[in-house]
Amino acid sequence: MPVKVFAITHKTFVVPSNPVYIPLQVGRALAEDLGYVGDHTGDHISEKNKSYCELTGMYWIWKNIRTSDYVGICHYRRYPVNDNNVIMNEVEYEEILKEYDLITTKKLALNFSYYDGYAANHYRKDLDVTSDVIREKYPEYHDLFLKRVHQNHTYFGNIIITNKELFDRYSEWLFTILFEAERRIDLTDYDDYHKRVFGFISEFLLMIWVEYNQLKVYECKIGMTAEKTETTDLKEQLSVFFSEQRSTGCKKLFLRNIEKPSGCIDGSL
């Protein structure tokens, strides 16, 4: 029952010692080689990474990995952890997957509906386009989508570990929807944040697919091993201002960063 969990990354990081975790550099077609397996070989969409985020890695696994019974993705700084807050190992994955169909994150309980949160931080029309595509391509899912999009739960991070057959079925469903939505959404005037539209929306779609197919899901805690690069950079810049007692510059930098769109869900790495 071999398990391969690909740790999606766009930067160098400390790889967990357990061999179940394999670093996978996403967006490799657009970036320098970090020395990891890249998502730019075989059948791939690596060049779409700016709008698909970790999903270019998911697509690569779907199309190119054939030697593992169980596969999945996590992030270079986000990992499924056990009750002792230790990163899960292969034995733990195997035991869970004997009983459950799929491992993913615990659901987020938002303070607003997913639709309202998305509309407040992204372009609402993109979610509406996704709804239209589901109605046309997979009408059997549409009522559930409409119901859940106006409620307040979602998975996050596109973290999923499951058997390869289910992984492939989910990927085919997901990318059929997203590729059609991509044809209808003009990203020309989007900034880098809003271009990540397909990475954002896919987090919610995982919940729809799981629920519709009545899968038995193990929802686990996700441990963080590092901060986002942007957070680390901000702290370093603030530290300089503090050390130089430049309170005005510190205040301006802080306000400029909190005014950036945070998004109701973080689909970035």
Do 79 and 169 fall into the same domain? yes
How far apart are the C-alpha atoms of 114 and 112, rounded to whole Å? 6
Number of structural domains found in the chain: 2
Pair (253, 193) in one structural domain: no
Both 164 and 147 in one domain: the answer is: yes
Based on the domain organization, do 241 and 219 belong to the same domain? no
Q: Which domain holds residue 181?
A: 3-224
Do 140 and 238 have their domain in common? no
Phi, psi of 19 (to 5 degrees): -65, -5
**Per-residue pLDDT of the chain in tens (269 residues, 90 and over written 9):** 689 999 999 999 999 999 999 999 999 999 999 999 999 999 999 999 999 999 999 999 999 999 899 999 999 999 999 999 999 999 999 999 999 999 999 999 999 999 999 999 999 999 999 999 999 999 999 999 999 999 999 999 999 999 999 999 999 999 999 999 999 999 999 999 999 999 999 999 999 999 999 999 999 999 998 655 544 444 355 455 455 666 565 555 445 544 443 333 334 45
Judge contact between 164 and 72, C-beta under 8 A: no
- Whether residues 236 and 194 fall in one domain: no
What is the number of other CB atoms lying within 10 angstroms of the CB of residue 218? 17
- In this structure, the answer to whether residues 8 and 69 fall within a common structural domain is yes
Alpha carbon distances (Å) from 100 to 54, 174, 214, 219, 268? 24, 21, 11, 10, 27
Same-domain status, 149 and 240: no
Residue 263 lies in a domain: no
- CA–CA separation, 114 vs 96, rounded Å? 29
Q: Does residue 264 belong to any structural domain of this protein?
A: no
> What is the rounded CA–CA span in Å between residue 74 and residue 252?
35
151 within some domain: yes
Instruction: Examine the domain organization and report whether 147 and 249 are in the same domain.
Output: no
* The pLDDT value given to residue 235: 39
Whole-number pLDDT of residue 225:
87
13, part of any domain: yes
**From CA 204, how far away is CA 58, in angstroms rounded?**
16
- The verdict on residue 9 lying in a domain is yes
Q: Is residue 268 included in any domain, yes or no? A: no
Domain identity same for 163 and 219: yes
Are residue 175 and residue 254 in the same domain, yes or no? no
144 and 238 belong to one structural domain = no
Domain membership flag for residue 267: no
Compute φ and ψ for 62, nearest 5 degrees: -55, -50
> 142-165 burial by CB neighbour count: b if 16+ within 10 A, else e?
beebeebbeebebbbbbbbbbbbe
- pLDDT at position 256, please? 53
Residue 24 in any domain: the answer is: yes
